[in-house]
Structure 1
Amino acid sequence: MFKEKLMERITYRDIPNGMFENLRTIETSITNSSLDRKLIEIIRLRTAQKNGCAYCVDMHYKELKHLGETELRLSSLCVWEETPYFSDKERAVLHFTDTLTKLNRGPISNTDYNSLSKFFSKEDICYLTLTISQSNTWNRLMKVFQFTPGHYKINQYKTN
């Protein structure tokens, strides 16, 4: 069964002045952090997968391909826990991404935090947390606005 054709509920012209610009300022901060660009995009793609955001999946898949990510890892990201294709560092980040994307009522465990601290400084963990949070924000906006997936072009919206 096919879903009805989705139309954008809110277009770029409808978005309040400054809203996306302020979000892009945060994006620039993340991009300029010490985090690896490919790792940032892996976080963004994983978050989009978890949230079922087709527009963001399309965007971050294309960004990762542009950065040289392999088809094997891209196609396996949705089942990362069952594959050997991701490093221990990436696995810690993916677990953290999954945890922050689907929050429960309890605190983030020391085990989860400590698995990150093996690989990252406190500053890096701050940026990892911001990257995941920001990605979740974009996913939620796109789910409401219903931007059409498939039209994203690399460097289309880059600010730096």
Structure 2
Amino acid sequence: MTTTSKTLRTNVGSKHPELYRALTAVAVQTDKTALAEGLSPLLIELVKIRASQINGCAFCLRLHTKDSLAKGESPERLSVLPAWRESMYFDEQERSALALAEYITTIQDSHINTGVYESAVAHLTPGQVSAVTWLTMAINTYNRIAISGAYTVAP
């Protein structure tokens, strides 16, 4: 029988708390900006959840799914979120925001996905495009912190 040792990961938030606090301040401001631009609290959480699904961040998925439900999101919409294109649960603004969040999260594929950005922003104002972009960048950063730090996710 072999045992596998788990390498301890550096918690970058603890190692450099001033940077983590700065990221948190940016994230708080992104939420405020998104609300001011007319995005609903539910859509803000959907963007965070969708990016976290793509990145496979269990820590952020648990956190934002709980937040979303507390804000009144339906379990049905959350259950079809990974397949939002095939459902009729999301309105045009939500669909545009989700497409933009996916585009930004998978930016490495932007050179082969020409036209995705243009179609993604079809039902968003320039201010909403900026807000969704900032929301997505912030959650992607949190995803990378949690995944690279092997944050514990247990029942």
Q: TM-score range by the shorter chain?
A: 0.7 to 0.9
Number of the residue aligned with 1:158: none
2:74 maps to which residue? 70
Q: Equivalent residues in 2 for 1:98-113 (5 A)?
A: 98-103=102-107, 104-106=109-111, 109=114, 112-113=117-118
Alpha-carbon distance between aligned partners in 2 of 1:131 and 1:107, rounded to the nearest angstrom: 24
Deviations 1:82-125 (A, max 9, x none): 11111111111111111111112529755633542x43322221
**Runs of 4 or more off by more than 6 Å in structure 1?**
4-8
Greater alpha carbon shift after TM alignment, 120-129 vs 38-47:
120-129
Q: For structure 1, which segment, 59-68 or 123-132, has the greater mean C-alpha deviation from structure 2 after superposition?
A: 123-132
Q: Do 2:31 and 2:135's aligned partners in 1 also have CA atoms closer than 8 Å?
A: no
Q: TM-score, normalised by structure 1?
A: 0.79
Q: Which amino acid aligns with 2:9?
A: R
Identical positions, percent: 24
> 1 or 2, which has the higher helix percentage?
2
Report the equivalent of 1:154. Answer: none
RMSD: 2.6
Equivalence for 1:58: 62
Which stretches in structure 2 are left out of the alignment for 5+ residues? none
Counterpart of 1:16, as a letter, is H
Q: Which runs of 5+ in 1 are unaligned?
A: 152-160
For residue 20 of structure 1, report the CA deviation from its aligned partner.
1.2
Give aligned pairs, total: 147
Higher relative contact order (CA 8 A, sep 6+): 1
Q: Which residue of 2 aligns with 1:88?
A: 92
